[in-house]
Amino acid sequence: MKKNSFRLSVLLTFSLFLSVGCDQYSDAQSGDLNDDVLGQYSPSMEMPSPTLSGSFLSAQFAQNRSDWEAASNYFAKILDTSPTDKEIQIRLMALQMGSGHYDQAIQIANKISKSEGADKTLANLILALESFKSGKFQESLKVISGDQNDPVVLAILPLVKSWAEAGKGATDITELKDSPSLIYQAVLVAAYTKNKDALAQLAQSYDFVKTRTPVARLEDIAVIFAHYGETEESKGIYEALKAGIPERAAFYDTQIKNLETESKKNLPNQLSNPQVGLSDAIFDMAQILSRGYEDSARLFAHMSLYLNPDNAAAYELLAEIASDHKLYSEATTYLSRIDTSGDKNRKIQIQRQIAQLQVLAGYPDEAIRILETLASDHKNIDAQIQIGDIYRGQEDFKNALKAYNRAYDFLGNAITAQYWDLSFARGMTNERLKNWDQAEKDLKTALLFQPDQPYVLNYLGYSWADQGIHLDKAAELIEKAVRLKPDDGAIVDSLGWIYFRMGQYDKAVVTLEKAIELAPTEPELNDHLGDAYWRVGRKNEAKFQWKRAVSFTSDSSLIEKIQSKIDAGLPENILVNQKTEKVVENK
């Protein structure tokens, strides 16, 4: 196993960080970076003795599936037997910090810091954060300044230094103000120390909307400038955002009007104390690294939470990482730690996210219970629609329809542009229940609000074609859907199937072959192509496609229908009616 691989990984990761800056939406990709901070380094030791090899392999497996809690427990067992192994200590320290066991991580960091021959980079960073959290700003700088040749220190030292000086009442943004990636932090530090001269210089020196600063951060900067009298720069930011994000024009108009009336928003929470400020800066690192380097992101998100346990964004990032690894219970725990007291809308949003995690975890009844409480207590239409979506996902269309109808009741039975997707969802549900007249009305209503929505175009057109009605109009709708979404195999298949239903078998073959290229393992697409091949006389190829379709599905009813065609072919005078839901819309 590689020695000093942690240092190598840190070098690569933070070279990446310095190059992409603090833009939360930067594309954190690099051909030179194969793994992340914790993922790349391993204990520089041979496989442990047979008595410990099970723990070692179990720890590796747990870490690979992002179960750091279990990985920590396994490595702790190894360390009990080999208490002086520095690499095991470093790894366990990182796992403990990234699992939220901060006291244990600090305890190990102290041991590593006092030992000889160990890589102390991460240990010293953790100890520096401990001092910083306690308000011992000078001591924090002393701890971290010992590793100034290390990339991780070079990346984080300017932030620690500036916020430490701010904690002592001084403004030192020298190393922040000339870095596009750190300019937001420079504004925060100057605002925290109430240094109007520094803020004025920043306002005059930068066109902030041309930096890589995310929109939410630009809005914070505008608020800060307005608060400290830099109203022209604040207005300029709002005007630029208004032009770039027209859907939020009304909000920015209100902010500009407030500038004129001196009615200003509260300052950002990052200015409450230096710990919160540094926590936010470290979270920015975590956000960047989450794009492909989740172990690193998790480690820095927990460092951010160590400094500020109320950092909701860090909890949400950790929940997202856990959910991506199907650790739904852990994700729910993180979301449950977010303080939503006094913010009803935020509470509803978090509860809806938790409900979705319950569905993914296989507990739809619990999810529905959570959502029904939100719908009943707050008349929340989004929660009510979500209930319908859960039932529809279970193919319980009767209860789905009841849920969607109740959502309609919340709207006074008058659909609005904001909830066009409710019409789409109810239309699909009614179609599956064979309530075709109502389904057609719902789908047309959705299309009225979203005339260029490819999935609505596809669903309505395919439903017409499947009934053998309005075929010309159906073809027109789905041809438009294909133009809008040419890389969607299901939509291209719908067009091919319409050509089949219209008896245009040659066109159906060409179109369905394109669909198969886009989605080669979809059983319905292979089945449709088999039908088209049969109609043009390519019967051996038809049977081959039908056999492929059978191999790609476990649906017994579909297998039975296809097998009958494999055995006897497609009846010459009968069009096959295979009802399938062609798409699932992106919610």
337, 318 Cβ separation under 8 angstroms: no
Lowest mean pLDDT among 86-90, 188-192, 224-228: 86-90
Task: Tell me the mean pLDDT in the region 482-500.
Answer: 95
User: What integer is the mean pLDDT of 110-121?
Assistant: 84
The predicted model gives 18-23 an average pLDDT of 36
Cα–Cα distance between 306 and 522 in angstroms, integer? 47
Lowest mean pLDDT among 50-54, 180-184, 489-493: 50-54
> Residues with Cβ < 8 Å from 325, sequence gap 6 or more?
65, 66, 67
Mean pLDDT of 217-228: 93
Three-state DSSP state, 341: coil
pLDDT value at residue 50: 45
Confidence band of 460 (pLDDT split at 50, 70, 90):
very high
pLDDT per residue over 81-94, tens digit each? 767 777 888 888 98
Can you read off the two tokens belonging to residue 62? 């747990």
Distance CA 240, CA 261 (A): 20
Average pLDDT, the chain: 85
pLDDT the model gives residue 264: 67
Task: Name the residue ranges covered by the structural domains of the chain.
Answer: 5-164, 452-587
d(CA 562, CA 557): 9
Range name among 32-41, 156-165, 414-423, 424-433 with the lowest pLDDT average: 32-41
CB-hemisphere CA count at 13 Å for 340?
16
What is the model's pLDDT at position 30?
32
Q: For residue 517, how many other CB atoms are within 10 A of its CB?
A: 11
Q: In this predicted model, what pLDDT tens digit does every residue of 21-47 receive, in sequence order?
A: 333 333 333 333 234 444 433 333 444
Average pLDDT over residues 223-248: 93
Say which residue, 64 or 235, is predicted with more confidence. Answer: 235
> Is pLDDT of 429 > 90?
yes
* Confidence at 53, pLDDT banded by 50, 70, 90: low
- The per-residue pLDDT for 485 is 96
Percent of the chain with pLDDT over 70: 84
Range 462-467 contact pairs with CB under 8 angstroms and sequence separation of 24 or more: 462/494, 462/497, 462/498, 462/582, 463/431, 463/436, 463/439, 465/494, 465/497, 465/498, 465/501, 466/497, 466/501, 466/577, 466/579, 467/436
b/e string for 93-132 if b means 16 or more Cβ within 10 A? bbbbbbbbbbebbbebbeebeeeeebbbbbbbbbbbbbbb
CATH of 5-164, one of 1.10.1240.10, 1.25.40.10, 3.40.50.2300, 3.40.720.10: 1.25.40.10
pLDDT in tens, 273-329: 999 999 999 998 888 888 878 888 899 999 999 999 999 999 999 999 999 989 999
User: Is the pLDDT confidence value at 577 over 60?
Assistant: no
Q: Which of 85-89, 130-134, 466-470, 581-585 has the lowest mean pLDDT?
A: 581-585
pLDDT of residue 144: 80
pLDDT reported for residue 39: 42
Is 80 exceeded by the pLDDT of residue 115? yes
Q: For 552-581, what is the mean pLDDT?
A: 78
Nearest to 113 by CA among 146, 88, 81: 146
pLDDT of residue 153: 67
Q: Which residues of 527-550 are buried (b: 16+ CB within 10 A; e: fewer)?
A: bbbbbbbbbeebeebbbbbbebbb
What tokens appear for 339 in the block? 């303080």
Which DSSP category does 325 fall into? T
Using CB atoms within 10 Å of the CB of residue 490, give its burial: 0 to 12 exposed, 13 to 18 middle, 19+ buried: buried
Q: What is the pLDDT of residue 83?
A: 72
In this prediction, residue 154 has a pLDDT band, given cuts at 50, 70 and 90, of confident
pLDDT for residue 342: 86
**Is residue 447 predicted with pLDDT exceeding 90?**
yes
Question: Which fold is adopted by the domain 452-587?
Answer: 1.25.40
Q: What is the mean pLDDT of residues 118-144?
A: 90
Token readout for 535 is 């109609």
